[in-house]
Structures are given as C-alpha cells and as structure tokens.
C-alpha cells in the first residue's frame, strides 16, 4: 500500500527542503564592534553604529565621567556595575552609551575593539538567557544595551530580567555587563506601583517586588532637561564640528525659536535643529 506513495512523499520532502531557508553560518563574535540580538537566536553584525562623538555630548559631564570609568574597568577585566540611565526624553541617554562604547574601545584597543556592544530590544527580553548562553563562552567582553526599557500592566518579563541580572543560579557571566535607558527610574509607571499597593494583601511586599528590578543596577545616572547655556553649547559645538558658518547671534536666535516650538531644550532638539540648519545651508553632516 505504501509503495505507490513513496515517490510522492520523496518529492514533497525535497520541495520542503528547497523552501526551507539555509542554515545561518556561525557568527564570529569578534567580527564587528556591535551586534543586534534577534529572539530567534541569531546575532546580526552591525556594519556602522549610529552614534556621535563623545566630545559633542554637552551638559552631562558627570554622567559621562562615571559611565566611562565604569566601562573602562569592565573592559580591563575589573569589577563593574550594571547601569540604568534614566530621566527626561532626548537628553542623550542612548547616545552616551554608544559614544562611551566607542571611546573606551579607542582607549583600550583598536577595531574591532576588545569590547562588543549587543543591542537587545525590549520585546526580546524573555530571550535574554539564550543570548547569555551564546556570550558566556566568548573570548570577548560585551555590553548588553536595551534602549527605552520599561514595563506596563501585567507584563511579567521584568521577573526574567531580575533573575538574569542578579540572583539566578548561573548569574550574569563575568564577560557581560547590562546597560539600559529608561524615562522611568523604577522602570514602571507610578500608577502601576500604586495599584499594587492598594490591592495587595501585603502592600509593602508588592511594592518591593516591583521596584527591586532597578536595584539590580549598581549605577543610577539621572538625566534632566538642559538649561539655556548648555543648550547653546550643544548647538555651537555641533556647528563648529560640521563647519556650519552662521552668525552666532542668528544661530542662538534660531535655536531658541526651535526649542520653543518643540517645548524642550535637550540634545535631541539641538541635533534636530542642526539637521534643519545644515539642510538649509546645503551642507552634509559627515
């Protein structure tokens, strides 16, 4: 009964093999400065990281010094802390992480540097243990970077992150450090924490569970909106760096108008103005 079906089944199997994507080649974790982690279990090398020079980041000197020092210690094999960069939007949190990574590699070694940068997206946090298993045996040190990390509602992924950062049986590998940015100091909205307090049998215990995630970060670096002199320093620094020849009075007047229309003074607003100015002047930002 099965003999007539055998050729048909073989053709079906061959067709399915042709449709299946080829197996991804093994990735050399020393082949690039930076990678993106995909929850399917693959690391994608990044040819060119989108970042600015650390010297162009103004108004965050203290945060810059602390993060550079922590990262240099880690790159040299010394103890270092996970870092949470929290605060107002557009103040240079993610830009600082990427700039520090490049600056420390320049200081400690060449390209690709001894320190790799791996970005993991917020929605892929549950796959973090699989990523650590990949990096644990690598002969290189890595910063895991999660931009805009936060948790809402019934999202329980924060429990996985807690166990990975500190407290799990395996723990965080010695060659891995975790840097995250967030607009929230405790990574969760205030109303979520207050709801836990109002409905729990033991309110203090419920709140402790919610805020204990941020305790896994040894460094808390706060970022706040820039004052006007700092905002002007950002604008003028970008203009010098990219050769945008504009009268200083005109530059400041336009920069103020731009910040008023955006409702904030920050590094992001300054960069957006510089992009607009360079476009009007017909200059490329290279």
What pLDDT is stored for residue 148 in this prediction? 86
From 196, 223, 250, the end of a domain falls on 223
Domain assignment present for residue 4? The answer is no
**Same domain assignment for residues 47 and 61:** yes
**Same domain assignment for residues 69 and 51:** yes
**Same domain assignment for residues 218 and 234:** no
What pLDDT is stored for residue 263 in this prediction? 87
Q: CB within 8 A of 99, min separation 6: which ones?
A: 51, 52, 53, 54, 57
**Same domain assignment for residues 190 and 72:** yes
What pLDDT is stored for residue 206 in this prediction? 52
**Same domain assignment for residues 124 and 211:** yes
What pLDDT is stored for residue 254 in this prediction? 96
Domain assignment present for residue 12? The answer is no
* Number of domains into which the chain is organized: 2
**CATH number of the domain to which 62 belongs:** 3.40.50.300
Burial call 236-269: b when 16+ CB within 10 Å, e when fewer = bbbbeebebebeeeebbebbbebbeeeeebbbbb
pTM exceeds 0.85:
no
Walking along the chain (286 residues) 10 residues at a time, the average pLDDT comes out as: 70 79 65 89 89 89 95 94 90 93 86 86 88 89 90 66 69 89 73 52 54 78 90 93 93 95 90 94 90
Contact status, residue 102 vs residue 20, Cβ threshold 8 Å: no
Domain assignment present for residue 92? The answer is yes
**Same domain assignment for residues 144 and 72:** yes
Domain assignment present for residue 181? The answer is yes
Its domain, for residue 150, covers 34-223
């Amino acid at each position: 009964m099965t003999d007539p079906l055998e050729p048909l089944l073989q053709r079906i199997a061959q067709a399915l093999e042709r449709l299946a994507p080829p197996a991804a080649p093994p990735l050399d974790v020393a082949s690039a400065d930076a990678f993106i982690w995909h929850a399917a279990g693959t690391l994608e090398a990044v040819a060119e990281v989108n970042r600015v020079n650390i010297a162009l980041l103004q108004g965050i000197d203290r945060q810059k010094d602390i993060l550079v020092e922590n990262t240099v210690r880690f790159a040299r094999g010394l103890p270092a802390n996970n870092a949470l960069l929290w605060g107002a939007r557009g103040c240079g949190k993610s830009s600082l992480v990427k700039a520090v990574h490049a600056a420390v590699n320049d200081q400690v070694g060449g390209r690709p540097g001894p320190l790799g940068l791996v970005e993991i997206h917020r929605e892929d946090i549950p796959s973090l243990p699989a990523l650590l298993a990949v990096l644990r045996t690598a002969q290189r040190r890595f910063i895991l970077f999660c931009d805009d990390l936060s948790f809402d509602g019934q999202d329980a992924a924060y429990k996985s992150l807690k166990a990975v950062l500190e407290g799990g049986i395996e723990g965080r590998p010695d060659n891995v450090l975790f840097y995250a940015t967030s607009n929230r100091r405790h990574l969760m909205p205030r109303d979520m924490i207050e709801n836990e307090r109002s409905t729990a049998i033991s309110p203090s215990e419920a709140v402790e569970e919610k805020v204990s995630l941020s305790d896994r970060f040894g460094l808390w670096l706060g970022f706040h909106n820039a004052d006007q002199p700092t905002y002007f320093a950002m604008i003028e620094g970008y203009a010098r760096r990219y050769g945008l020849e504009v009268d200083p009075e005109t530059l400041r007047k336009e920069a103020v108008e731009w910040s008023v229309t955006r409702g904030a003074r920050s590094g992001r607003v300054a960069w957006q103005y510089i992009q607009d100015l360079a476009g009007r002047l017909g200059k490329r930002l290279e």
